[in-house]
Structure 1
């Protein structure tokens, strides 16, 4: 039986909103290869995105068509409510083929069977798992078709969350809280970094007393010492030392929905400059969260942060947040709205963002973050975790 993650009417609404955007773009078909977008439209959930797969959406067909590897077809039957005619699989000799076969040869045949071989077809050309060869192979097989890049078409449908999506994100936040506490408790002088990572991973999967956790789209990030000026490092077997700042960025995951959370701890007594930096980051976060409400722009939220830290002669050029929620490796971001100068996206109720305005310098960095929902009057911060510099 298919998993009951969402009811069928929710998928129907998502598909109709996607089709409306297709009509607006004058598209006849859309090839959806981003695994998060595949999940969003059908519920398909499997670690099969290392081979070519996609959901095909056409305007004149009620159901999308799942296309993937033959051994993954039962996964589509297990995780979606698609009818048998909407599950179509290519044989294994298309995978890493020595016979000059390619999965897009099969995709082309399916698009032809759907009556769109000479139509205008949207592609997610900047999606992680849609390759340059996929594009050229489709062109070779369907010379009468017109292909256009519509990488973010479904992503923009996803930006406003339903009540059930929000509930899964809140559940993910509970897991994030437990995992963050486990990581903070594990860090100490002489403890190898991998032991803290182990404690975090265990908590991410253990979840809560009511439900378990899924694998997150990004591994726990845990730079320490001098490397805290570089935010996207993981862990090593180096023992923590007295005087080490340590950044932890992680996310609980529930039915592929995330609620990221970042905090910084210090092994020993933090020097004044580290504590002062943490205080600036916290003050800036508070100001940015206070600026959130429906009708304001994404850039105005970032401006509140920037003006706050400017009082201390501090500048930060990077964006401070991004729309996120449903995700698969390597990212939980939706790649749509960002909290940064120049982004004039108007915030609407039930948009969700990860605000992560860290400050990174050559010799140390301080990072705190919050995942939040735009409410009808302001903001809901999903995690309930102290916003402070910790010590180990």
Structure 2
């Protein structure tokens, strides 16, 4: 077990303001500390940007005083370089991260209310259980909703990054469209997409681009491979640029050689759905109302024809996801979440009738409606 008490330096104003907002909410809820274990929340509060999150990491935010980071020992130089103002405790390989986390919490009094991200995919249940058993004197609660709520509305600084990510997404999508053609393998499209993404100023996205033929459209997260594009077939391409860990996804459906009448009808339905969802996406509207508008526009009244959502909140993302965790706010049937200005959604119009077709863009909710940040043309796309 190792510990560093690093010399405090002024935190960046942006992260300091976020911690201050969290602490105000903690005071309202009577919390002594909040534990963030997802990469997105740790990054949101501190700016820690690395790929070491695959190993257990936790940020402890007390109601007052110095923040503490607990990581694998190997990450010591990274934490020292990026978060010199934080206290840093580490655990070695083969040792228990719950023990190091317990040490960081040892100073809290009997009955102190401590909130921990119970739903985070990066918080192993075994570590969680050992932590709770080791500190039974604390009153444990869940911080998942609190942290998600803080990140839902983006600041102007965050929106600048998302707009830049949208420009990267546009460049990558255009490169993928230009690369597609008869007998072109999917990996060639992927190569063009990745090259354009990084040349345009992006970094590694939280989720690899999704590239697959329309006959496999329902296999939603399969990897691209050596399959060659065939005359008369369709290609689904979904991707996101990433700037400072902020994402702006979009998708387009591409037709090889020509487009069939059924696909033209599906395209028209999908485009109508996107327009309707965008028009409904306004401050104060419930997410279920946005979904209902999309559903009416695509002409899918029956349950069998429905998608589980027509969009979801997007922003900070680390591998393996660009949506910011295993659970994310979606625009779903009967959704009761109020839409607010400053939210950014991956707005998706995915239809299956008369054939599968998808069009999507990143949408920013403004005071007066929704702005589409990704701009690649939405007309039917046919490549030769």
Taking structure 1 as the reference length, the TM-score comes to: 0.89
Comparing 272-281 and 17-26, the one that deviates more:
17-26
Identify the residue that residue 4 of structure 2 maps to in structure 1: none
Out of 1, 18, 26, the position equivalent to 2:22 is 18
Out of 136, 151, 161, the position equivalent to 1:158 is 151
Distance 1:364 1:223 in 2: 15
Out of 313, 324, 347, the position equivalent to 2:314 is 324
Contact conserved, 1:229 with 1:360, CA < 8 A, in 2?
A: no
CA RMSD of aligned residues (A): 2.0
1:47-82 Cα offsets, whole Å, 9 max, x none, are 011111111011022x422221222122123333x4
- The yes-or-no answer on 1:239 pairing with 2:228 is yes
Shift of 1:277: 0.3
Shift of 1:188: 1.1
1:198-240 Cα offsets, whole Å, 9 max, x none, are 1111111222xxxx21111111011214112333222111111
1:144-194 Cα offsets, whole Å, 9 max, x none, are 122222223211101111111000000001100110011111111111111
Identify the residue that residue 332 of structure 2 maps to in structure 1: 340
Shift of 1:297: 1.6
Identify the residue that residue 349 of structure 2 maps to in structure 1: 357
Partner SS, residue 269 of structure 2: helix
Taking structure 2 as the reference length, the TM-score comes to: 0.91
Out of 55, 70, 73, the position equivalent to 1:70 is 73
1:318-354 Cα offsets, whole Å, 9 max, x none, are 1101111011112222445321222222222111111
Partner SS, residue 386 of structure 1: coil
Identify the residue that residue 4 of structure 1 maps to in structure 2: none
Shift of 1:117: 6.6
Distance 1:249 1:374 in 2: 21
Contact conserved, 2:205 with 2:245, CA < 8 A, in 1?
A: yes
Identify the residue that residue 269 of structure 1 maps to in structure 2: 258
Query: Structure 2 unaligned runs (5+)?
Result: 1-10
Residues 20, 227 of structure 1: alpha-carbon distance in 2 compared, 3 angstrom cutoff: same
Residues 282, 44 of structure 1: alpha-carbon distance in 2 compared, 3 angstrom cutoff: same
Contact conserved, 1:217 with 1:327, CA < 8 A, in 2?
A: yes
- The yes-or-no answer on 1:376 pairing with 2:380 is no
Distance 2:73 2:50 in 1: 13
Contact conserved, 1:228 with 1:360, CA < 8 A, in 2?
A: no
Distance 1:340 1:190 in 2: 38
Contact conserved, 2:36 with 2:116, CA < 8 A, in 1?
A: yes
Contact conserved, 2:39 with 2:318, CA < 8 A, in 1?
A: yes
- The yes-or-no answer on 1:189 pairing with 2:178 is no
Contact conserved, 2:237 with 2:253, CA < 8 A, in 1?
A: yes
Distance 2:109 2:174 in 1: 52
Partner SS, residue 371 of structure 2: strand
Distance 1:269 1:158 in 2: 43
Residues 298, 312 of structure 1: alpha-carbon distance in 2 compared, 3 angstrom cutoff: closer
Partner SS, residue 322 of structure 2: strand
Identify the residue that residue 284 of structure 1 maps to in structure 2: 273
Aligned length: 370
